Amino acid sequence: EDVPDRISIMLIQEENEYACFDYLAANEDIRKKAAKPVDEDCRVKMAEWCYQVVDFCKFRRETVGIGMSYLDRYLCSNKGKKALGDRKEYQLVAMTCLYIAIKLHEPLEMETSLLADLSRGCYTEMEFANMEQLILEGIDWRVSGPTPLAFVLHFLTFLPNNIPSSVEEAIFDYARYQTEIAIANHSFVKIKPSVIGMAALINSIEGMDTSLLPERVQERFIRTIIMYTSIDIEAVENTQASLSNILFSLLDEDGTKKYDKLFDEDSDEEDVD
């Protein structure tokens, strides 16, 4: 099957069985009753932890995106929503989602004993094993959904063949960085992966020098994606603006990206409590 066909399948998936909603807003009643409910900061901290783990283990950073997609869909399910009132359970869910993603998408499996060690004694191997079963049931064993980066990779195949590989790599790297920012930010949970992927890609392309990627090539590339996806351009533009605002807010006064600290494997591990 060719790229347009694969994209069509991914679009159907994100619209149906892999769709997510804002579960924090939808379960305000559960969170109000809790002493320390799950909030947006909990997601940032768990994303930070996940990136530290995959960097340390030399796994693909995209595996974090896959794990966080399991987390989101589980928390959208009836089985998962009670974790929103318990930060300790939320942390267990997030860690187990990363474990499942590594198990399914990396060549080397992570042992539950290592997870228990990484939790610094908060959870046992049995708790991780039991939670794995609950999560897989909660997401109906659907573990192959599209991520923003998967869309970026598919969309990039529409670039003309004469574009230098160094230019394509630069576009990809900046787009990937933005998808990682989106994954760590709860406000993007309800946005379709295709929209996030395209927004990140357009931001990346628009940041390229026109001597490297002429405007006519940029425009043709974007038109081609729209032709194959019928994507909601207004949603893409809004997401572009959201990503850009976050990028600007993450710049220190000297112009360096302080967000890199969030994904620095040497930073101290922090519980969501």
Give per-residue pLDDT as tens, 172-184.
999 999 999 999 9
Strand, coil or helix: 255? coil
Q: Tell me phi and psi for residue 257, to 5 degrees.
A: -80, 110
Separation CA 175–CA 201 (nearest Å): 5
Q: What are the pLDDT digits (tens) for 37-81?
A: 999 999 999 999 999 999 999 999 999 999 999 999 999 999 999
The CA distance from 47 to 64, in Å, is: 7
Domains for the chain: give ranges and CATH numbers. Answer: 19-138 (1.10.472.10), 148-262 (1.10.472.10)
| 213-262 per-position pLDDT tens digit | 999 999 999 999 999 999 999 999 999 999 999 998 887 544 555 444 44
Contact residues for 272 (Cβ-Cβ < 8 A; gap 6+): 38, 41, 42, 45, 46, 87, 90, 91, 94
DSSP SS3 for 58? coil
> Could you tell me which residues come within 8 angstroms of residue 116 by beta carbon, excluding any fewer than 6 positions away?
123, 124, 125, 128
- What is the pTM assigned to this prediction? 0.90
Specify the 3-state DSSP secondary structure of 146: coil
Strand-pair partners of 251: 257
